[in-house]
Amino acid sequence: MLDIRNLHASVDGKPILRGLDLHVGTGEVHAIMGPNGSGKSTLAQVLAGRDSFTVEDGSVSWDGVDLLAMPTEERARAGLFLAFQYPVEIPGVSNAYFLKAAVNAVRRHRGEPEYDAMDFLKRVKAEMKTVGMREEFLYRSVNEGFSGGEKKRNEVLQMALLEPRLAILDETDSGLDIDALRTVADGVNRLRSPERSMIVITHYQRLLDYIVPDHVHVLSRGRIVRSGGRELAHELEERGYGWIDEAQATPAAQGAAS
């Protein structure tokens, strides 16, 4: 479904991704773990189309389509969803307007009829209930003054409404207490389906107790350096990331030279 080959990306001339390979099959949940600065968030942003990153080399094929050639909004309409690590506050735009505009942009693309106000409200209120958001959040500005947990719930709400084929969750666990983490993870688990692939990016193993992945990858210095099953996450939990860097001393030197 998603095929990333030899992906190199840089920001302001500084290489961040240095030959990343990853294959995500339909319906699979892949966790990407790694220390700070390993390129996890860059990967998420590059896949979503952030143009402050420059793709230097490599390819990303998504169901046979060149993902990197698509503008950000077209990726979204085609079913790619990025749950932000730091959801952006947008003063002056109500959550209701934002959600409706997003859902209808995606529905138009799919050739489905746009929601009118009534249908939309019915749908969104039902989804809010499942992620534990009060209705007042509809009429507040997007993410403005939301707590960390409320922002992440809002991300999961958007994911539920947009029904993506590929969801990328960028450190969705950061800044959450255990109750909020559980609610958010429940929301994500409800959206697991054989048609929907997910990439779950996290620094900590804890999230993976709740969102159990099919595959775990370790990212270090812009490359996947180890892949395995969920037991790999436990190993990282016990041993930390230090050993990865040591084990990677030689390949990393190659990466730096390229």
Partner 1 sequence: MSTLEHWLQRYNAGRDALPGAGVPWLDALREEAIMRFADEGWPSNRLENWRHTSLALLEERSFAPAAAPLAPEAVLQRLRRDGEEAAGGHWLVFVDGRHAPALSELGALPAGAEIRALADVLATHAEAVEAHFGAVDEGASPAALNAALATDGAFVRLARGVALDAPLHVVFIGGVREGASLVRNLIVAEAGAEATIVEHYVGVEGAGDVQAGAAAAGTAGALTNAVTRIAAAQDARITHLKLQEEDRSTVHVAQIAAVQARGSVFASHSLSFGAQLARNDITTRFDGEGCEALLNGLFHVDGRRHVDHHTRIDHAQPRGTSREFYRGVLDGAGRGVFAGRILVAPGAVRTDAMQRADNLLLSPQAEADARPELEIYADDVKCAHGSTVGQIDEDSLFYLRTRGLDEAHARNLLTYAFAAEVLERIGLAPLKRRAQAAIRARLPGGELMEAL
Helix 148-162 to helix 117-131 angle, to the nearest 10 degrees?
130
# residues near partner 1 by CB under 8 A = 33
Binding segment for partner 1 (CB under 8 A), chosen from 104-112, 175-183, 187-195, 233-241, is: 104-112
CB of 252 to partner 1, least distance (A): 30
Q: How far is CA 201 from CA 44, 109, 209, in A?
A: 8, 28, 14
Return the number of the residue (19 or 49) whose C-beta is nearest partner 1. 49
- Give the H/E segment covering residue 77: helix 72-77
Supply 56's token pair: 């230097």
Residues 6+ apart with CB under 8 A from 28: 1, 197, 198, 214, 215
Q: Tell me how long the chain is.
A: 258
Residue 191 in the binding site for partner 1 (CB under 8 A): no
Per-residue binding letters, 63-82, with partner 1 (x by CB under 8 A): --------xxx-xxx---xx
Integer distance in angstroms from the first to the last C-alpha of the chain? 29
Q: What is the closest distance, in whole angstroms, from the C-beta atom of residue 81 to partner 1 in the complex?
A: 8
Q: Name the minimum Å distance from CB 55 to partner 1.
A: 16
CA angle centred on 142, ends 139 and 148, rounded to 5°: 110
Q: Which stretch binds partner 1 (CB under 8 A): 56-64, 99-107, 192-200, 223-231?
A: 99-107
| Shortest separation between residue 218's beta carbon and partner 1, angstroms | 26
What count of Cα atoms within 13 Å lies in the side-chain half-sphere of residue 18? 19
| The one segment of 24-32, 105-113, 172-180, 218-226 that binds partner 1 by CB under 8 A | 105-113
Shortest spacing between CB 58 and partner 1, in angstroms: 21
- Among 59, 61, 94, 227, the residue binding partner 1 under the rule CB under 8 A is 94
Among 48, 70, 121, 212, binds partner 1 (CB under 8 A): 48
Q: What is the DSSP track for 160-200?
A: HHH--SEEEEESTTTT--HHHHHHHHHHHHHT-BTTBEEEE
Q: Is 123 in the site for partner 1 (CB under 8 A)?
A: no
Tell whether residue 100 is a contact of partner 1 (CB under 8 A): yes
Q: How far is the CB of 171 from partner 1 (least distance, A)?
A: 16
User: What DSSP string describes 8-62?
Assistant: EEEETTEEEEEEEEEEE-TT-EEEEE--TTSSHHHHHHHHHT-TTSEEEEEEEEE
Look up residue 174 and give its two tokens: 């950061």
In the complex, the residues that contact partner 1 under the rule CB under 8 A are: 48-50, 52, 71-73, 75-77, 81-82, 84, 87-88, 90-94, 96-98, 100-102, 105-106, 109, 117, 141, 158, 162
